[in-house]
Amino acid sequence: MIRITLIIMSLVLSACAEASETAPSPRAEGLGELGELTELDSSERGASEAGIDPLEDAGPAAEVTPASDVNDTSTEREEDVHADALDAALEEEVAVQDTSPQDAASIPEEDSSLSEGEWSWPEGLYGSVPPTAFPPPEFLALNHDGESRGPEDLMGKPTVMWFFPFAGTPG
Amino acid sequence: MRIVGVGFQDPATNDAWVEDQGYQYEVWTDEDRMLSVTYGAADNANAFFPARVTVLLDEQGELLLEYPNVVIDVHPPQVLSDCELLFGTAN
């Protein structure tokens, strides 16, 4: 009885193995047009391996291609497509960064005058330039004599304003 | 050139400090915390005390430079250097 079961199991396994070898790869099927290209490539490759020019005669060598070959070539083709897409994206990025003289001329007059810049920040500054300059807020402060201070007290000359955590602390 | 110290403590406390240190400039109490919040010394008006931050404003009170990470030992000469670069030594 056990022997019969083993024989049946071995038959089933061999049938499964045959099915997996002959069935087309789902991945190649899913690739659609790419899958067709892959088959063409693999047939060309098979022909060239056989020493036959695929343009003249596809020949019997091109007709049957093992599924494992299809998988290999589809992977290679997929990598090629990804590499091509990456190259295209890089070229596009370089094109965007590269401003030709014609592009520079198309910049409005005001912008180009700003880019020339009559005034620029001196080198060697310790402080950081804020992203945007803005006027003082409406605020209410008292000086150490108890007198009110407001935005108008920051006008007329440059101000260094330093914040301290507590009176009596260094700084 | 104007120098202003800003903190949260009351004017009397600041006055005693000014007297003690002999400061030749005003020390303000940020009553509504607006200065501290605007210039990044406090996250909000409920902050317990302002962080050690310095800002440099121009003649119209507009923000020119900010010093968010003050290192006490080297900070005053750095601000002085920036003022000289921007406004010259006359100011």
The closest of A45, A90, A32, A101 to A72, measured between CA atoms, is A45
What pLDDT was estimated at residue A60? 45
Best of B6, B19, B66 to disrupt the A interface by mutation (most A CBs within 10 Å)? B6
What pLDDT was estimated at residue B88? 85
* Structure tokens given for A170: 């260094």
The closest of A154, A70, A23, A37 to B58, measured between CA atoms, is A154
Highest average pLDDT, of A2-11, A149-158, B65-74, comes from A149-158
Task: Supply φ then ψ for residue A17, to 5 degrees.
Answer: -65, -40
Predicted TM-score (pTM) of the model is 0.55
DSSP per-residue letters across B14-34: HHHHHHHHT-SSEEEEETTSH
Contact B8, B29 (CB under 8 A): yes
CA distances to A47, A121, A149 from B13, in Å:
95, 39, 17
Cβ-defined contact of A137 to B35 (cutoff 8 Å): yes
Cβ-defined contact of B63 to A165 (cutoff 8 Å): no
pLDDT digits (tens, 9 = 90+) for A93-152: 555 455 444 454 454 454 444 455 567 888 999 999 999 889 999 999 999 999 999 999
Of A127, A156, A164, the CB nearest to B52: A164
pLDDT digits (tens, 9 = 90+) for B28-65: 999 999 999 999 999 999 999 999 999 999 999 999 99
Task: Supply φ then ψ for residue B2, to 5 degrees.
Answer: -115, 140
Q: What is the 3-state secondary structure (H, E, C) of A94-113?
A: HHHHCCCHHHHHCCCHHHHH
What pLDDT was estimated at residue A31? 41
The chain A residue lying nearest B81, using CA atoms, is A125
Distance of residue A144 Cα from the nearest chain B Cα, in angstroms: 4
Lowest model confidence (mean pLDDT) among A10-14, B5-9, B39-43, B72-76: A10-14
Q: Which residues of A touch B62 (CB under 8 A)?
A: 133-136
The chain A residue lying nearest B15, using CA atoms, is A144
Of A125, A136, A144, the CB nearest to B57: A136
Of B26, B34, B49, the CB nearest to A139: B34
Cβ-defined contact of B70 to A171 (cutoff 8 Å): yes
pLDDT digits (tens, 9 = 90+) for A28-59: 444 444 444 444 444 444 444 444 444 444 44
A162 DSSP assignment: E
pLDDT at B14 over 50: yes
Classified as helix, coil or strand, B56 is strand
Cβ-defined contact of A127 to B18 (cutoff 8 Å): no
**Using CA atoms, how far apart are residues B73 and A159, in angstroms rounded to an integer?**
21
Of B35, B41, B52, the CB nearest to A139: B35
- The predicted complex's ipTM stands at 0.95
Highest average pLDDT, of A2-6, A49-53, A85-89, B44-48, comes from B44-48
